[in-house]
A and B are shown apart, each in its own frame.
Chain A
Amino acid sequence: MSLELTPDGTEAYRILRWAQEDPAGRAAEAVGQVNDLARPLLGDTAQAQALAEVQDAGTMLARLAGSLAGVTGGGGPAESVSGQMAAGGTISGQASS
């Protein structure tokens, strides 16, 4: 056992990263893609690790998709105060931009 991901897990995380670049535009589509990736793995005990990894990425995507509605109160791109602070921006700077 190592930290290396299975090919399916690697692909699921690739989809997750792609969605994280543009959550509002991609999260919903990405959930669908990971669903398609996970479906053939269901019930296949030989693929249990792959399914676990795909579901980890899928869970993160589902929470990411859900977070959009949570922040904006109804979809649309969400801006994160803490995220922008972490990125080095200042609130006052953004407010005046």
Chain B
Amino acid sequence: MSISAQLADPPGISVQLDLAFPDVPGFKGQGWSTQETVMVVRWLFANPAAWDQAMSTARAYPGNPHTVADTLHETIVPRSELDAIAAAGGDPAKVNWLEIGHELIERRDDPRPETVTAQLAAPVTISGQLDLSAASRQKAHDTASATAKAHWRADQVRDDHGRWARAPGGTADITGRFDEAQRGGRKPVTVKDILAEWRKSKDDLVRSHLNRAAAALDAGDRDAAVAELRNASTYAGVRGSGDRLHELAASLSDESRTNATVADFATKGAKAVTGLLGAGHNGWNGKIDLFNAEDQPAYAAVLNWDGTMQFQRELAQKMRDDAGGPVDDPQPYAVALHELIHGALPAGGESAEWKALAPDDRAALDALGGMDKANVSGGAYATMHSLADVRKYAPHVTQDTIDSLAGRGLLEKSDFTSSRADPKTGEWASYHEWKMTGKARDMTPAPQQTHAMHSAAYQNPTGASVEEGFTELGTVHHAPEFFAKMGIGDRPTKYTAFEAGHPKVNPVYASTKAAVFSKLADQERALSADPRGPQQQAAQAARRAVQSLNDDNLPGAEDDLAELRQLGDPDVTQAAKSIQAGLDKMQAAGYAARATMSEYAKRLRDPGRIAKGDAWRHYGWQTAAAQSWVQDAAKAEGKGPKSPRVRDLADEINREGVGGKVPAMVRQVIRAAGADPDKFQGAPFAALETRIRAQWPQGPDGAQSSPWASALAAAQDYDRSHP
């Protein structure tokens, strides 16, 4: 049975209507001691004024939870709501006010969850929670989503006792054993898994929560699904069968945290990329889908055409488990940057009106717009086209679609019928034609900005190579600044830092070495001044140790130090211990400094490395080809191959989606030719696109040159011959 079918006829609905203690999604199972407590918390979340009052109290009395509890009980929560608890079959005396007080105090510095505020703007009564009719289930689900989102932040997770577990710089881990299971290849929890549990369960209450969990997961709301699974686990636990559900909840929670890690990074990253490229906006739709490497080893991440980012779970887990120390593997961050650059789009794009249209409506208008662009005016005015014309580009469009668009004033029907022979039968048939109205043309995005045009452009092998080459070139160019903006630029990597072609000495190593050197020199002086034989021998050992240290021969210095200790002088032994500690510190720090993320990324963006496919080691020849193009374009402006202008020119192309990249290259050529762009409207422009695509490298051979010169010559010829 599908989720939607279950929602229409939910298996547990009749039982839910008879619940003595209606559940409150998102709270029960996260540690609240009684259902009545949950109901009060739920009410607080749903009543912004009361919430603010409660939080103000918590902030005013952070050291006195009893005062907060009393204020809640006596002032904030009205008597009518306590009556409603009783009316619902609950016992107001079971509300644990102190528990709520503690919670509010603990969270007093948190911003009020905006999602909850927005979703629950309308006051909700506790008695209203009993309204679990099918119509209200969606609302309940939305509420669960909102509350769960408010609670299940990536960096702040409750433990199983309702306390907030925090981990500085990373994510809290409440499910270590399941993390291990995940790393061992555990499959993610699916709707099917939850439905299997639903079928096994004989308990209507558990089934009702499982039903909600499945619905939430089906809707893509993992957080709400986790909350519902925990509810189910709690109820099942009372009956002695909650472990399996707890495991499911924990596993899904882990999935949720991993997903949130990537989503949080990408949310911040999308803004950073827009700024770095000077783009208008990013086409990533905010959704992350994780997949197992074993299931789809053919790729690490893909930005789908609907804007969803698919991301390999193993890479995502590396990001999630990144606790803030040295970055073991910078690749996941570079991969995320690459995908976000794919999403970079120019300003404008698809309007709200456009997005509100049905897919077939958009497809029909897309097709008509594309055909208009190819008319003699280059799309300056609309021309008539038949349904058959439209269906060449949008096969799913029907006469009903056309009639509907015409009915909404988006298409205008011709006043006469045309006729033509069927190419197969030779029979003549008449047909109607339509053209886009001004209203439709206003709302239709420029052809190079439509979803259809981008995906169509990618089907051209050169279009795909150009897209990947420039996207990776943008990744290489912008990674240092991107990492800095993301707050990870200063993090050390496992790679050695270089300075003027030589390993850069670790500053910790250098400063400790200076201190150790000084202490050894002191010992050597003191011992040399003592004429006794053993002291003179020890002085020689100290001198050797100084030399070993000078040579950065730490094992040698340790051996020499051992001789000092053999002297048996307590003062010398104490000094030797201190020196040994310094040597240990030097050993741990290492001689060479580690490159930071940004330093490492800067090293990779050397044009020589890019030309050899030796930057981030992805799309080597495509990236080299893209670099050749922009280096040639920069040269035409009198700029060198390493000049910042090269990056600007690449950005100009990367600000466009797939369908807009080659046209952007054509505009660069026309600009370099010093020609009037208006002269190239329509066919001349298309001819330059064709030339670039035809001459673009198709593999490693020739990837270090570009068709720039050929395209520029063609543009100059056309300009000269069309004064």
Query: Which residues of A pack against B, CB within 8 Å?
Result: 1-5, 13, 17, 20, 23, 31, 34-35, 37-39, 41-42, 48-49, 52-64, 66-74, 76, 78-83, 85-88, 90-92, 94-97
Contact B704 A63 (CB under 8 A): no
Smallest beta-carbon distance B351→chain A, Å: 19
Once the chains are docked, how many angstroms separate the CA of A95 from the CA of B248?
Answer: 55
- Given the interface pairs A73-B394, A81-B393, A82-B453, the reply to whether A97 lies near B423 with Cβ below 8 Å is yes
Contact B393 A79 (CB under 8 A): yes
- Interface residue SS majority, chain A: helix
- Chain B residues whose CB sits within 8 angstroms of the CB of A49 once the complex forms: 617
- Given the interface pairs A35-B298, A70-B305, A85-B686, the reply to whether A20 lies near B613 with Cβ below 8 Å is no
Contact A2 B699 (CB under 8 A): no
Contact A17 B461 (CB under 8 A): yes
Smallest beta-carbon distance A24→chain B, Å: 9
Interface residues of B in 607-663 (CB under 8 A from A): 609, 612-614, 617-622, 624, 659, 662
Residue of A nearest to B700 (CB): A3
Once the chains are docked, how many angstroms separate the CA of A17 from the CA of B462?
Answer: 11
Smallest beta-carbon distance A1→chain B, Å: 4
Smallest beta-carbon distance A6→chain B, Å: 11
Among B99-107, B238-246, B363-371, the one that faces the other chain is: B363-371
Is B554 in the interface zone, CB < 8 Å from A?
Answer: no
Contact A90 B459 (CB under 8 A): no
- Given the interface pairs A3-B612, A38-B298, A96-B420, the reply to whether A91 lies near B620 with Cβ below 8 Å is no
Contact A78 B423 (CB under 8 A): no
- Chain A residues whose CB sits within 8 angstroms of the CB of B659 once the complex forms: 82
Candidates B306, B420, B468, B700; contact of A60 at CB < 8 Å:
B468
Once the chains are docked, how many angstroms separate the CA of A87 from the CA of B305?
Answer: 24
Residue of B nearest to A51 (CB): B297
Contact A56 B468 (CB under 8 A): yes
- Chain B residues whose CB sits within 8 angstroms of the CB of A83 once the complex forms: 456-457, 459-460, 463
Once the chains are docked, how many angstroms separate the CA of A96 from the CA of B421?
Answer: 9
Once the chains are docked, how many angstroms separate the CA of A63 from the CA of B298?
Answer: 12
- Chain A residues whose CB sits within 8 angstroms of the CB of B393 once the complex forms: 79, 81
Contact B690 A86 (CB under 8 A): yes
- Chain A residues whose CB sits within 8 angstroms of the CB of B98 once the complex forms: none
Smallest beta-carbon distance A38→chain B, Å: 4
Once the chains are docked, how many angstroms separate the CA of A75 from the CA of B619?
Answer: 28
Candidates A35, A48, A55, A81; contact of B370 at CB < 8 Å:
A81
- Given the interface pairs A81-B370, A83-B460, A86-B693, the reply to whether A66 lies near B302 with Cβ below 8 Å is yes
Number of residues on chain B facing chain A (CB within 8 A): 70
Give the residue among A73, A88, A90 with the most B Cβ atoms within 10 A.
A73
Interface residues of B in 438-488 (CB under 8 A from A): 447, 451-461, 463-464, 468
Is B374 in the interface zone, CB < 8 Å from A?
Answer: yes
Is B74 in the interface zone, CB < 8 Å from A?
Answer: no
- Chain B residues whose CB sits within 8 angstroms of the CB of A62 once the complex forms: 296, 298-299, 302, 310
- Chain B residues whose CB sits within 8 angstroms of the CB of A88 once the complex forms: 690
Is B395 in the interface zone, CB < 8 Å from A?
Answer: yes
- Chain B residues whose CB sits within 8 angstroms of the CB of A95 once the complex forms: 371, 385-386, 388-389, 392
Contact B700 A4 (CB under 8 A): yes
Smallest beta-carbon distance B518→chain A, Å: 42
Contact A70 B460 (CB under 8 A): no
Contact A3 B459 (CB under 8 A): no
Contact A2 B618 (CB under 8 A): no
22 residue pairs bridging A and B, Cβ less than 8 Å apart = A1-B609, A1-B612, A3-B704, A20-B459, A35-B298, A41-B297, A42-B294, A53-B620, A59-B299, A59-B468, A60-B468, A62-B298, A62-B299, A63-B305, A63-B464, A64-B458, A72-B394, A78-B459, A81-B453, A82-B447, A83-B463, A91-B375
Candidates A42, A69, A81; contact of B456 at CB < 8 Å:
A81
Once the chains are docked, how many angstroms separate the CA of A69 from the CA of B451?
Answer: 11
- Chain B residues whose CB sits within 8 angstroms of the CB of A76 once the complex forms: 395
Once the chains are docked, how many angstroms separate the CA of A23 from the CA of B303?
Answer: 18
Is B563 in the interface zone, CB < 8 Å from A?
Answer: no
Once the chains are docked, how many angstroms separate the CA of A17 from the CA of B460?
Answer: 11
- Given the interface pairs A38-B298, A72-B395, A91-B374, the reply to whether A67 lies near B700 with Cβ below 8 Å is no
Once the chains are docked, how many angstroms separate the CA of A76 from the CA of B394?
Answer: 11
Candidates A3, A35, A74, A87; contact of B613 at CB < 8 Å:
A3
Contact A66 B304 (CB under 8 A): yes
- Chain A residues whose CB sits within 8 angstroms of the CB of B459 once the complex forms: 20, 23, 64, 67-68, 71, 78, 80, 83
Residue of A nearest to B463 (CB): A83
- Chain A residues whose CB sits within 8 angstroms of the CB of B617 once the complex forms: 48-49, 52
- Chain A residues whose CB sits within 8 angstroms of the CB of B619 once the complex forms: 56
Residue of A nearest to B702 (CB): A3
- Chain B residues whose CB sits within 8 angstroms of the CB of A61 once the complex forms: 298
Is B396 in the interface zone, CB < 8 Å from A?
Answer: yes
Contact B689 A54 (CB under 8 A): no
- Chain B residues whose CB sits within 8 angstroms of the CB of A96 once the complex forms: 420
- Chain A residues whose CB sits within 8 angstroms of the CB of B461 once the complex forms: 17, 20
Interface residues of B in 656-683 (CB under 8 A from A): 659, 662
- Chain A residues whose CB sits within 8 angstroms of the CB of B609 once the complex forms: 1
Smallest beta-carbon distance A17→chain B, Å: 7
Is B592 in the interface zone, CB < 8 Å from A?
Answer: no
- Given the interface pairs A17-B461, A35-B298, A95-B392, the reply to whether A70 lies near B306 with Cβ below 8 Å is yes
Give the residue among B297, B395, B619 with the most A Cβ atoms within 10 A.
B297
Once the chains are docked, how many angstroms separate the CA of A71 from the CA of B300?
Answer: 24
Contact A55 B367 (CB under 8 A): no
Is B703 in the interface zone, CB < 8 Å from A?
Answer: yes
Residue of B nearest to A96 (CB): B420
Residue of A nearest to B624 (CB): A3
Contact B396 A80 (CB under 8 A): no
Once the chains are docked, how many angstroms separate the CA of A73 from the CA of B455?
Answer: 11
Contact A31 B298 (CB under 8 A): yes
Contact A39 B297 (CB under 8 A): yes
- Given the interface pairs A66-B304, A91-B371, the reply to whether A82 lies near B456 with Cβ below 8 Å is yes
- Chain B residues whose CB sits within 8 angstroms of the CB of A53 once the complex forms: 620
Contact A3 B620 (CB under 8 A): yes
Contact B374 A81 (CB under 8 A): yes
Contact B686 A86 (CB under 8 A): yes
- Chain B residues whose CB sits within 8 angstroms of the CB of A97 once the complex forms: 423
- Given the interface pairs A60-B464, A64-B458, A66-B302, the reply to whether A2 lies near B371 with Cβ below 8 Å is no
Smallest beta-carbon distance B37→chain A, Å: 47
- Chain B residues whose CB sits within 8 angstroms of the CB of A56 once the complex forms: 468, 618-619, 622
Residue of B nearest to A74 (CB): B396
Once the chains are docked, how many angstroms separate the CA of A41 from the CA of B294?
Answer: 11
Additional A-B contact list (15), CB under 8 Å, known A72-B394, A82-B453:
A2-B700, A3-B704, A5-B621, A20-B459, A41-B297, A52-B618, A55-B298, A58-B297, A62-B302, A71-B456, A71-B459, A78-B456, A83-B463, A86-B690, A95-B389
- Chain A residues whose CB sits within 8 angstroms of the CB of B453 once the complex forms: 81-82
Contact B613 A73 (CB under 8 A): no
Give the residue among B294, B370, B388, B456 with the most A Cβ atoms within 10 A.
B456
Contact A91 B370 (CB under 8 A): yes
Contact B363 A73 (CB under 8 A): yes
Residue of B nearest to A13 (CB): B699
Interface residues of B in 278-297 (CB under 8 A from A): 293-294, 296-297
Once the chains are docked, how many angstroms separate the CA of A60 from the CA of B458?
Answer: 9
